[in-house]
Amino acid sequence: MIEAKRTVQQKTSVAKPGSVEQKWFIVDATDCTLGRLASKIAVVLMGKHRPEYTPHVDTGEYVVVINAEKVKMTGRKLEHRHYAWYNGYNRQKMESYGERLERKPTDLILLAVKRMLPKKNTLARHMLTKLKVYAGNEHPHQAQQPIPAPFGYQADGSNQ
């Protein structure tokens, strides 16, 4: 006699907008490599660290980055890599990463994370608004009671 195997049917859960509780995380960027830090922040902003991740729903968390002025890059990238933009007149402007770090230290992390999010849609723009970057050690989000980030970069500078 041959017995038929029974399969258990599993259900897929799909998150709905507003059904996911969003937490606040804090990250200290002191002596962190820019690309590695940005990729981990992008994962948390998208919500890919959660089991109920749904691509078309905002399941991510809020992330507060402090000490953005102390972020580092490997090699000589601060001198050799450049940001380029068109200024609206007949030329393109260029600025090295080192010059940008001195002038606008928050832009390095903000633009690196922006390039790691899904491109050109309203969901990506909404995810980017949940990223708060500050050059110094102080931030105005104490009322939200941010907890240390789940990916190892802590607010006290220690890495797990």
Residue 92 lies in a domain: no
Q: State the Cα torsion 136-138-140-144 to the nearest 10°.
A: 120
Residue 157 lies in a domain: no
pLDDT of 159 above 80: no
pLDDT tens figures, 48-84: 988 889 999 999 999 999 999 999 999 999 999 999 9
Residue 7 lies in a domain: no
CA distance 82 to 101: 11
> Domain containing 43: what range?
24-71+102-148
Residue 38 lies in a domain: yes
pLDDT of 160 above 70: no
Residue 114 lies in a domain: yes
CA distance 140 to 112: 23
Q: To the nearest whole percent, how much of the chain has pLDDT over 90?
A: 68
The β-bridge relationship of strands 92-96 and 82-86 is antiparallel
Residue 95 lies in a domain: no
Residue 18 lies in a domain: no
CATH of the domain at 115: 3.90.1180.10
At 158 the pLDDT is: 54
CA distance 45 to 156: 21
CA distance 119 to 73: 24
Confidence band, pLDDT 50/70/90 cuts, at residue 153? low
Q: For all residues of the chain together, what is the average pLDDT?
A: 89
Confidence band, pLDDT 50/70/90 cuts, at residue 134? very high
pLDDT tens figures, 9-59: 778 888 898 888 999 999 999 999 999 999 999 999 999 988 889 999 999
Residue 34 lies in a domain: yes
pLDDT of 151 above 80: no
CA neighbours within 13 Å on the CB side: how many for 133?
A: 23
Question: How many domains would you assign to the chain?
Answer: 1
At 10 the pLDDT is: 79
At 131 the pLDDT is: 97
